[in-house]
Amino acid sequence: MSQFRRSVAVMATVAAVAAVPATASAAPAQAAGKNTVATVEKSVANAKTSVKRLKRAVKADQTSVATKQLKLARSQTARAARVARTMGASATTGGAANAAAQALTIAGTQYDALLETLTALVADGTAQTAIAGAIQPAIAGKEQVLQMLTSLLGEVPASVQPTLAAVIAALGAGDATEVVNLNDALNVGSLPSTIIGLVSECLASAMAAIESAMGMIQGFLPMLPVDVQAPIGTILTQVTGIVGDLIPSVLATVTGLIQSIIGALPVIGGTGGLLSGLLGGIVGDGTGTGSLPGVGDIGTIINDLLAGVLGGGSGSGEGPVGGPIAGIISTVTGLIQSLLGGILPGGSVLPAA
């Protein structure tokens, strides 16, 4: 799911930039300086290479190699973000703002990928302390990118605003993989006692970052594509303010729904329309063979929904879907209510089973 979301965000901004050419005055400046989308892409490519090497080194328990590759991955990711933020801060035309939005999205998706890698590796190998220490700076770096992207919403052409708003929503609250990873790391019992406190702080920071993103999305909800405003708004109304009280698997389900709805947009998720895009995002390939992480009977609810809508889904019941938009709204509302109803009686969260 996370890779899908990252691809969604990058493709969306590429499409947006291609649709609105840069102005004549902006193009020479882009070509003459080092603050360009190409520069960001190069740094991200280098960071990805280092991340791959980091994974191999951790698996082989090569501490010095892992530490070196972690440092390179962090520096290249940070460099990409600095260039992208500079582009955003200096954008004076719609075309320049478009290019900056593309660069920031590429940098933001790299921060996202780095975060998911670090949180997945923090319980492994002998470089745990270095990896754990890199998580909160990565969270902060991604938040800076999101803030700059949000500031560009009023600068890009009006035709691009809905797509950019959707990209920010996908990047900011599109899934909670890093939260689940950190929670799992704390529960497996293999963390050194010296970093348990640090990993706990990272978990709190990751959840706070998602909650902050949800609040930010509420602020520009009317700028999102019209078709997704209602279902996204429904989710945000239900969960904003209580993210820190949700168990990680529940938060992952909630953010997975946000990701799926954003992925439903034709410009992002394909040409099948809003409903098919939503279902495709939930099951991974639109065939009903995948599943979303969940709590209690949430998996059954989703499978029954898929069975009723797709005809060949993996569930056995009828889904509550009528018209595409109304169906999505009622479905999301039902999913959230079913999800939260059992764990938030009177507003208090029950312990995980």
- The Cα–Cα gap between 101 and 279 comes to 28
**Res. 290: pLDDT tops 60:** no
Domain locations in the chain as residue ranges: 1-224, 228-353
**Res. 99: pLDDT tops 50:** yes
**Res. 343: pLDDT tops 80:** no
Contacts of 36 by beta carbon, 8 Å cutoff, 6+ apart: 30, 83, 87, 99, 103
- The Cα–Cα gap between 275 and 234 comes to 16
Q: What is the structure's pLDDT at 335?
A: 58
Region 65-84: what's the mean pLDDT? 97
What share of the chain in percent tops pLDDT 70?
Answer: 65
Which carries the bigger pLDDT value, residue 266 or residue 259? 259
Q: What is the structure's pLDDT at 179?
A: 95
Q: What is the structure's pLDDT at 6?
A: 55
Region 309-314: what's the mean pLDDT? 33
Residue-wise pLDDT tens digits, 199-243? 999 999 999 999 999 999 999 999 998 888 888 888 888 788 888
Q: What is the structure's pLDDT at 218?
A: 93
- The Cα–Cα gap between 123 and 190 comes to 6
| Structural element, H or E, at residue 172 | helix 161-173
Residue-wise pLDDT tens digits, 19-55? 544 443 444 444 446 889 999 999 999 999 999 999 9
Radius of gyration of the chain (CA): 20
Contacts of 75 by beta carbon, 8 Å cutoff, 6+ apart: none
* Residue matched to tokens 């990805």: 48
Question: Using N-to-C axis directions, what is the helix angle for 94-121 and 2-19, rounded to 10°?
Answer: 170
SS3 content of the chain, % helix, strand, coil (to 5): 75, 0, 25
Q: What is the structure's pLDDT at 210?
A: 94
- The Cα–Cα gap between 305 and 279 comes to 9
Contacts of 350 by beta carbon, 8 Å cutoff, 6+ apart: 342, 343
- The CA dihedral of 74, 80, 83, 87, to the nearest 10 degrees, is -140
Q: What is the pTM of this model?
A: 0.75
Q: What is the structure's pLDDT at 30?
A: 45
